[in-house]
Structure 1
Amino acid sequence: MQPFALQDVKLSKGIFKNAQEVDLKYILALNPDKLLAPYLMDAGLPLKAERYGNWESSGLDGHIGGHYLSALAMMYASTSNAEMKTRLQYMVGELARCQAKNGNGYVGGIPNGKVFWERIHNGDIDGSSFGLNNTWVPLYNIHKLFAGLRDAYQFADNQQAKQVFIGLGDWFAELIKPLSDEQIQQVLRTEHGGMNEVFADLFIITKDKKYLDLAHKLSHRNLLNPLLAKQDKLTGLHANTQIPKVIGFEKIAKLTNNAEWSDAAQYFWKNVSQTRSVAFGGNSVREHFNPTNDFKKMLESNQGPETCNSFNILRLSMALFLDKNDISYLDFYERTLYNHILSSQHPEKGGFVYFTPIRPNHYRVYSQPSTSMWCCVGSGIENHTKYGELIYSHSDKDIFVNLFIPSVLNWQEKGIQLSQNTDFPYKNNSELVLKLAKPQTFSLNIRCPKWAESVKVRVNGKVQTINDQPSAYMSLSRNWKNGDKVSIEFEMKTHLEYLPDGSNWAAFVHGPIVLAAKTSTEDLKGLFADDSRMGHETKGKLFPINKAYAVVDDSGNFLSKIKPHKNLRFNLDSLTLQPFYEIHDSRYQMYFQTFDKKAYDTYQSNLKQKEAETLAIEARTVDKVNCGEQQPEVDHSYKGEKSDVGYDDEHFWRNTRSYISYQLQNHQKVGKYLEISTLDNINSDNIQIFINDKLIEPTKVDNKTLRINASDDEAIHIKIMAKNNIVSPRFYQFRILKE
């Protein structure tokens, strides 16, 4: 099974074409010189524009530039837009100039990069999940540049990008040459994107085995080994850190015919897609994998599945589909494409979503080109450039139709043009029209999705006898002529899809389309993000979950509560269900609890008090940091040495044998005290606590809680030092409270 090049598939009018055009405008709104500034600064070259703010000037300097290369290359391949090619050539040329100035193959935008990389080269390594020598995910950052240069070459045939890519790879090979395998694995503790994958790509491009050897070396054994043993060790791990590693495992497996590594990648995919993902295809809560048997925290959080995760799990799904020719990967790919990726961009104003909460009656935040430089903006500008990547695929002579998306396939090598005309999912049919230079014999294979029922296929109006098994291809083999038409008709039904933990929370899904209801436009604070460090998070209030809509029926026939209307609209009492990807600028509800009347009354009584307590403490909170979680710690300027993180007792935690520190904000000085919570009993003889560099004697509330009077400063810098190299307690939260 082979994919078609993006150049071979052009989108036609429809929801995906619109998303592509909106993304193109966003790409054009970004200033290449601002994105290049971190690279020029690091190379000691004059700036042509000041760098962007937000994440591009607070530690991840340059990461969007790498994504931008990929987006330009894929958008050019998909649309033939000349400005995309012009900008790509300019970006690559400037990066080549930086590389030449550095003189050793290196080019990067990482702050104080030369000093940082020299420390790594010398074996000076102190890393945790996202901080390597107190630098924010530097390998993750430079991976974006590696991937962008690869994509510029592979999708847009930019030969200069190929040379910069190889030069950067050779520099990195020399950088880690003195390191032992143990030291390399220590480096890989910190989020590093898909470094193993890009070195496998260097091998594909150059055929030089040294790059494949490096791909093996850069494969993180702490993740790989449990997967090889079919052990689920994912709960509590930072989700998007893991998925790119597995894409690399799969690529290396395919290149080396390593069945064990391929099995490990399949095990990971099945675990994440079937037991950790929600109806729209997303996974994780507050960026981490939640327990498979408890989605409660995801239901409560305003930080639901992260778009980057779905960006990467789709890349893995596509790789496994092409490798294994297993159509079940397409069922998940389609579900995630329509319901998460398509919904993650505002369809009119543009802007990308970071978190998609499943908390009832909550909402999402959209980026803006001038203010927002998050990771999900980087993957976001890529997401909507490449919708044509898997609509069709092919073998040596046969065509496979995988998705019902209006488009035109031009297989020039075979002299075949295939037009797909469809209003799916609003209409349950699609028409394929062939344009051939001469009659040809081949098989046209049309995917019969898992959700499709009563499928009928006609060729030039004549009904065909087909194998319409779900998650299989319907194969039409014949001598095709110019103008032949194939029509596909099917039925889609609505079903309830419960969360994987077996709870009574369910989503209404029509065919592959997840339905949701607009619930309110109240308090959509921060709907379009400002340039603040945490602008990607919602700022509006949390509405009580016990006030959410529920579906109550003593007979258990919950589907009977919805009534079809039109254009994929369904009435659910006072609510209107519609495709989730249509819902924007609004609070919404996607998941509904199902009850009989007695169970509903009991639930309401039990939940009301708990919800009130939770919302009350959030209302009293001025600022907080959840220790051991990547984004909250980055948002609060974490620094530390000899520190470990983990997940136990439903909490992420961080400890230290040296020190850890955070910067919290006591906005308008309304906070009265700082509360520190741990998982272990606190022995105050073994730690010292400093507030704004002053040694503090805290008050012990209980054996696992400390309280400190808030200082008179709006910025509160807290530093905890371990005495005599004795490991500290496991800290899980620091919270400033009003009273």
Structure 2
Amino acid sequence: MKLSALLLGAALSMATVTPALAVEYFPLQDVRLTEGPFKHAQEKNLQYVLAMQPDRLLAPYLIEAGLEPKADNYGNWEDTGLNGHIGGHYLTALSLAYAATGNAEVLRRLNYMLDELARAQQANGNGYLGGVPKGDKLWHEIAKGDIRADLFALNGYWVPWYNLHKVFAGLRDAYSYTGSEQAKTMLLAWADWAANLVDDLTDEQIQIMLTTEYGGMNETFADVYAITHDKRYLTLAEQFSHETILQPLENHRDQLTGLHANTQIPKVIGFERVAEEGGLASWHEAAEYFWHTVVRERSVAIGGNSVREHFHAKDDFEPMVTEVEGPETCNTYNMLKLTKLLYGRDDKLEYVNYYERALYNHILSSQDPDTGGLVYFTPMRPNHYRMYSQPQEAMWCCVGSGIENHMKYGEFIYAHEGDALYVNLFIASTLQWPEKSLALTQVTRFPDESSTKLTFNKSADITLKLRYPEWAAKDQAVVKINGKPVPVKAAPGQYISLQREWQKDDVVILELPMQTHLEALPDGSDYYAILYGPIVLSAATKPFKDEVLNYYSDASRMGHIASGEMCPIEQAPMLVANSTEFADKIKRLDGDTLRFEAAGIIQPKAYKDLELIPFFRVHQSRYMLYWPYSTPDNLAAKRAAGAEKEAVMLALEARTVDKVAPGEQQPESDHFFKAGNSEAGVNAGRHWRHAYDWFSYQLNDPDAQAKVLRITYFGGDQGRRFSILLNGETIANVALSNEQGPVFYTVDYPLPETVLAQVQDGKHELKFVAAEGSIAGGIYGVRLLKENRSN
């Protein structure tokens, strides 16, 4: 049925699809943001969402249903295999936007999207609703038990369950946030299609299928169970939970190194939802353990994690500061979802601390405040930068999660338990609590001012619980009620409880003086972030005087990567002092906003006047976030050692025309990986791929610069025989031996001009073909290089 604004007051919140736990959250429509950085981000995101064209997002679903689309579908990921995934995110973004703002145009669009999707679902005739290109063939194979699963390809299709999960979640959210019965009907029909599809599969076959990234299908099946109380869906949620990941976590074993990070986080969200609905304590403990190891041991100061989308070794964060593909926004989006679930079950303030850290420093910083463009990777590499999406160009995963992120800032500011109201985040907002006849306004300029003011707009008999954050100093919190100080008995990491019969116009002021401090990388290496309270400080830099960078992505497959020149790390600004006890030398400058100087500890002198500001305010610039540190005595030696290593790496990057990291999901999909009977894995921290038949990539050489193909091997793979083909021509017949020993090594293959002449539109097809009875690979690295000269 059609929605109307009258439904909003009675609309369901996400609390309706989760059981009552330690605390409950307020429906998003009961919280409204007011003036501040989050309100600005929400408004800019709304403009971005409304600039997107529904008919283009709908095209994949209509095409797969045999209907004529009203517009061409978007390009980028939306026409290279993940067709339709942004459309699912768009449903969620519209649902959140309507709940958060009540915007009438958003409601009209949501109704239109649902009507058009309903046409597609009805045309399919079986409940199916998806944009997976030529998906009929795939789902027919799956239903028969013909399952060939790789890390990101299921029967040759790019993460199809991940794709379908987005529209599944979008329908759920349209129902949960707006009360749309139409969305509920479509959701249940869709869930029945999925249930029927796998009805004849064994648990073992389903587990094989889950080798390929599948998003949060277990979470959404648990949500459908919560709506219907039909145990069939709870069983499906358990079946769609990947045991390979679950079992080590249940036993408190961290086996995450080398895994694609954002494949795993949604699985764990699902574990927690199944635990909530099914009462599985060990699954909840698994989710808790995962959260703790990722937050405490695998995350950087902004709350993000992973390099090139993968979890690296916990004791080696070097890739985090050398690579340009730093923490992925989708990862933090999902970590916040998991955090919200865990805090709802157990109101420990460590969950709120992480939520605040990640929200301010990663999520808020992932939006261009001028254009609303969204960020995929946030490099930690000194003097690097970010790329931003454009609404008609980039259609990456982090665009989909991004248009959701900036619509739901109101969901975690407050929570309640019985007669207690929790104030967790210091974000300017208003709150309505109809059950308690309470209306509250929070006015704050946090973090520019370390205080907040709460005004009761109606009388209420509740306990007000104000968060005393761990970043605040002991015995420094000040609470005033109607101008009069009251004793604070709580300590940092606890709540300040204020119980009384509150009267209209009562005012509570909370002051929490912040301090500057340093935070090392989790492996303890000499790189430090500078924080003021929970806020990560950064500095915009311009190492090349006349450089003009493009910060906005085009529609190319890898446009989300900031692939401009990398600056030598040893030439970057460095913190230099006799010890790391120098936080008191970082001085706040006068003014209404956070600005700091650290002239006495930053070298070289050319950078001494750098101004430090919150990272969420640094945009369209190179920047410093993690700073190298040295004592004065060790400075010269440290720079010299770093310079030699960096010179080799930067010279290789300068020669590189294109590269692939075999076995890593996004690099392979960006290079249109194809294979017959192929496998991938990790050895000594490095990803590999091999095949019993063949596998191939499409390499980019737009300016016809390639002269050499460099392949990385491992000495332990002796006895394997295969051919390397470029553009259909054999350029090498390889027989791996063990003469190098168990080490990684590279071999350069000069590319004949006759082979290069066959390039099509700047694209080369590289193929590895196994000899009869042997294996092609393992291949640990692929690079196209310019002219052949020694490095």
TM-score scaled by length of structure 2:
0.91
Cα distance between partner residues in 2 of 1:419 and 1:623: 54
Matched, 1:529 2:553: yes
Summarize deviations over 1:61-99 as a string: whole Å, max 9, x none: 000000000000000000000111110111011111111
CA–CA separation in structure 2 for the residues paired with 1:706 and 1:296: 25
Residue in structure 2 matching 1:392, options 387, 397, 414: 414
Q: Match for residue 287 of structure 1?
A: 309
User: What whole-Å deviation, never above 9, does each CA across 1:101-132 have from its counterpart, x for those lacking one?
Assistant: 11111011000011111111111111111111
Question: Match of 1:190?
Answer: 212
1:708 has 2:749 as partner: yes
1:396 Cα deviation (Å)? 2.4
- The answer to whether the Cα contact below 8 Å between 2:128 and 2:190 also exists between their aligned partners in 1 is yes
- The Cα shift of 1:194 comes to 0.5
2:462 to 438, 442, 445: 442
Change beyond 3 A, Cα 1:667–1:334 = same
**2:185 counterpart of 1:163:** yes
Q: Which runs of 5+ in 2 are unaligned?
A: 1-22, 600-608
Q: Does 1:734 align with 2:782?
A: yes
1:443 Cα deviation from its structure 2 partner: 0.4
Q: Which deviations, in whole Å up to 9, do the C-alpha atoms of 1:436-472 show, x marking residues without a partner?
A: 2xx4322011111111220011111121123331121
Alpha carbons 2:75, 2:393 under 8 Å: kept: yes
Distance 2:140 2:543 in 1: 52
For 1:225, what is the secondary structure of its paired residue? helix
Q: Indicate whether 1:613 and 2:648 are aligned.
A: yes
Matched, 1:147 2:188: no
Aligned to 1:451: 471
Aligned equivalent of 1:69: 91
Cα 1:118–1:555 shift into 2, 3 Å: closer
Whether 2:336 is the aligned partner of 1:314: answer: yes
Letter in 2 for 1:287: E
Alpha-carbon distance in structure 1 between the residues aligned to 2:716 and 2:418: 65
Alpha-carbon distance, 1:349 to partner: 1.4
Q: 1:549 aligns with which of 562, 573, 579?
A: 573
Deviations 1:690-717 (A, max 9, x none): 2222233358998553433332223211
Paired residue for 2:677, among 642, 657, 664?
642
2:311 is paired with a residue whose SS is: coil
Encode CA deviations 1:197-248: one digit per residue, 9 max, x unaligned: 0000000111111000100000000100000111110011000000000001
Distance across 1 between alignment mates of 2:456 and 2:581: 45
Match of 2:256 in 1: 234
2:733, 2:382 → 1: CA distance? 38
Q: Is the 8 A contact 2:541 2:624 kept in 1?
A: yes
In structure 1, give the amino acid aligned to 2:200. Answer: P
Unaligned runs of 5+ in 1: none
State the Cα distance separating 1:667 from its structure 2 match: 2.7
Would you say the 8 A contact 1:699–1:706 is kept in 2? no
Instruction: Find out whether 1:401 has 2:418 as its counterpart.
Output: no
- Residue 558 of structure 1 contacts residue 594 of structure 1 at CA under 8 Å; is this kept in 2? no
Mapped pair 1:664 → 2:699: yes
23-32 or 636-645: bigger deviation: 636-645
Tell me the equivalent position of 2:388.
Answer: 366
CA distance in 2, matches of 1:441, 1:90: 43
Correspondence 1:572 to 2:598: yes
* SS, match of residue 293 in structure 1: coil
CA 1:568 to 1:736, structure 2 compared with 1: closer, same or farther past 3 Å? same
Residue from 771, 774, 781 that aligns with 1:723: 771
Q: Distance in 1 between matches of 2:550 and 2:665?
A: 22
In the alignment, the residues of structure 1 paired with residue 528 and residue 748 of structure 2 have an alpha-carbon distance, to the nearest angstrom, of 41
CA RMSD across the alignment:
1.5
SS in 2 for 1:67: helix
| 1:328 maps to 2:350 | yes
CA 1:618 to 1:435, structure 2 compared with 1: closer, same or farther past 3 Å? same
Instruction: Output the CA distance in 1 between the equivalents of 2:579 and 2:133.
Output: 62
Provide the secondary structure at the position in 2 that maps to 1:577: strand
Q: What is the SS of the residue equivalent to 1:655?
A: strand
Report if aligned partners of 1:237, 1:288 keep a CA contact under 8 Å in 2: yes
The more displaced of 366-375 and 247-256 is 247-256
| CA deviation string 1:636-676 (max 9, x = no partner) | 11011322222222321112222111111223221111111
Which letter does structure 1 place at the counterpart of 2:616? Y
- Residue 66 of structure 1 aligns to a residue whose secondary structure is helix
Report if aligned partners of 1:362, 1:542 keep a CA contact under 8 Å in 2. Answer: yes
What secondary structure sits across from 2:525 in the alignment? coil
Indicate yes or no: 2:579 matched with 1:559. no
Which amino acid in the other structure matches residue 515 of structure 1?
A: L
1:339 pairs with 2:361: yes
Q: Which amino acid aligns with 1:589?
A: M
- Deviation track 1:303-341 (CA, whole Å, cap 9, x = no partner) reads 000000000000000100001111210000000000000
Whether the 8 Å contact between 2:89 and 2:404 is mirrored in structure 1 is yes
Matching residue of 1:5 = 27
How far apart in 2 are the matches of 1:307 and 1:512? Answer: 19
> Partner letter of residue 730 of structure 1?
G
Moved more, 412-421 or 307-316: 412-421
Moved more, 467-476 or 82-91: 467-476
* Cα distance in structure 1, aligned partners of 2:700 and 2:676: 23
TM (norm. structure 1) is 0.98
Amino acid at match of 1:736: L
Deviation at 1:593, TM superposition (A): 1.9
Contact 2:234 2:278 survives alignment (8 Å) = no
Judged with a 3 Å threshold, the aligned counterparts in structure 2 of structure 1 residues 699 and 165 are, in CA distance, closer, same or farther, namely closer
Runs of at least 4 residues off by over 4 Å: 521-524, 681-685, 698-704
Q: How many residue pairs end up in the alignment? A: 737
Q: Equivalences for 1:441-480 in 2 at 5 Å? A: 441-453=461-473, 454-480=476-502
1:137 aligns with 2:178: no
Write the distance in 1 (CA, Å) between the matches of 2:295 and 2:579.
31
- The 2-side partners of 1:64 and 1:314 are apart by 20
> Which deviates more from structure 2 when the two are superposed, residues 109-118 or residues 390-399?
390-399
* CA shift in 2, pair 1:198/1:464, >3 Å: same
SS of structure 2 residue aligned to 1:729: strand
Indicate the larger mover: 461-470 or 424-433: 461-470
CA contact (8 A) 2:697 2:766 kept: yes
Residue 632 of structure 1: aligned partner: 667
Following TM superposition, by how much is the alpha carbon of 1:133 offset from its aligned partner in structure 2, in angstroms?
Answer: 1.2
The change in CA–CA distance for 1:537 and 1:555 in structure 2 (over 3 A counts) is closer
Residue among 653, 658, 675 paired with 2:688: 653
Amino acid at match of 1:611: E
Matched, 1:686 2:710: no
After superposition, give the CA deviation of every residue in 1:13-69 in whole Å (9 maximum; x if it has no partner).
110000000000000000000000000000011111110011100000000000000
Contact in 1 for aligned 2:720/2:774 (Cα 8 Å): no
> Secondary structure of the equivalent of 2:783?
strand
- Counterpart of 1:724 in 2: which secondary structure? coil
Matched, 1:78 2:100: yes
Query: Which residue identity lines up with residue 494 of structure 2 in the other structure?
Result: A
Q: Which whole-Å deviations, capped at 9, do the CAs of 1:522-559 have from their partners, x for residues lacking one?
A: 54544111111111011310000111111111244332
